[in-house]
Structure 1
């Protein structure tokens, strides 16, 4: 559907000469804001950076393009990544 989008987004972030740079940077900044909120709430581990999260999510899209057998498992791959990013379990009050 959006073939090549992950590679384009990551490449555009690296070069501010692209006409898409501002849009991709705004998307990355939005991810950073959501991540900071989730980390402050303890839902996501505190040592994860926005760049790492953005790269991981983009990687899921990229690998699904590269390996058509994984296309239908994109949501599962993303869920596996997100499960690994959860913050430590909180004890009950």
Structure 2
């Protein structure tokens, strides 16, 4: 890609990320182009559909979460690493308001452009969970798919105006249901 085309591409993604975070997945594509300083034709050459730009944004976020999970795999205690990653994934999901259903569907649809990124991200979270389980810091009866479902539920709650103020408390409740208290781990 030429340098000017790469610059336009990156600028469009940066503006789209900001607008979609503020306005949700239905933000105006015309506003994305205008705020990026390009014409609609340039926007549509880079991203022919709204879904294409959302996929690019989500893929970048999923790949960053996968890399972050890999960094956290060395952090002790393992339960803290898992909770940090969970907080980050909920924040990322919330920053992509209105796309939770697409994200969940992508993991089940091998033909989705996001499938590989979704599966890889879920696998990285599952590794964090398994590590915490091996160290006796997380329940043994939860798997990666269930963990991902809980994250999706928290992100969905964050999108509901009447529930958004309770998300931190609900996150803490869910995290405490996943993690095992040190006294419980010693008793087992």
Indicate whether the TM-score tops 0.5.
Answer: yes
- Which protein has the larger Cα radius of gyration, Structure 1 or Structure 2? 2
Deviation track 1:52-87 (CA, whole Å, cap 9, x = no partner) reads 01101111111221x202212222211110111122
Aligned equivalents of 2:109 and 2:185: distance in 1?
41
Which gives a bigger RCO, structure 1 or 2 (Cα 8 Å, sep 6+)? Answer: 1
Aligned equivalents of 1:34 and 1:11: distance in 2?
23
Deviation track 1:26-68 (CA, whole Å, cap 9, x = no partner) reads 1101011000000001110001011001101111111221x20
2:136 aligned partner: 42
Q: CA deviation at 1:6?
A: 2.0
Q: CA deviation at 1:16?
A: 0.8
**Aligned partner of 1:79 among 172, 176, 188:** 172
Mind listing any 5+ residue stretches in structure 2 that lack a counterpart? 1-20, 22-95
Mind listing any 5+ residue stretches in structure 1 that lack a counterpart? none
- CA RMSD of the aligned region, Å? 1.6
Aligned equivalents of 2:186 and 2:110: distance in 1?
45
Normalising by structure 2, what TM-score?
Answer: 0.45
Q: Which runs of 4+ in 1 moved over 2 A?
A: none
Normalising by structure 1, what TM-score?
Answer: 0.87
2:118 aligned partner: 24
Aligned equivalents of 1:27 and 1:50: distance in 2?
10
Contact 1:35 1:44 in 2 (8 A): yes
Aligned residues: 91
